[in-house]
């Protein structure tokens, strides 16, 4: 295996890692969107009682909001 082959293999591995990272990031973002939609449905369904009955869902949404963001591949290359 020459130096060029090793470099090509390294670049392919890095590209695959980037792609997987971005896919996982998008999956987490879509999970966050689903929770947000469910929170909206809960607010509409519960009416004035949504503060009590939807609290667990809003806390889950806020917790997920901190970590489930779409991040680019540059964060894994540093």
Say what the pLDDT of residue 56 is.
Answer: 94
Q: Rounded to whole angstroms, how far apart are CA atoms 38 and 33?
A: 9
Which residues, 6+ apart, have CB-to-CB distance to 42 below 8 Å? 50, 53, 54, 57
Q: Where are the domains of the chain?
A: 3-77
For 17-67, how does the pLDDT look when each residue is reduced to its tens digit (9 = 90+)?
A: 888 988 998 899 999 999 999 999 999 999 889 889 999 999 999 999 888
């Amino acid at each position: 295996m020459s130096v060029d082959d090793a470099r090509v293999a390294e670049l392919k591995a890095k590209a695959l890692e980037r792609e997987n990272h971005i896919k996982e990031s998008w999956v987490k973002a879509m999970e966050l969107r689903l929770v947000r939609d469910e929170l909206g449905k809960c607010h509409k369904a519960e009416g004035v009682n949504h503060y009590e009955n939807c609290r667990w869902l809003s806390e889950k949404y806020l917790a997920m909001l901190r970590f489930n963001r779409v991040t680019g591949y540059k964060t894994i290359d540093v």
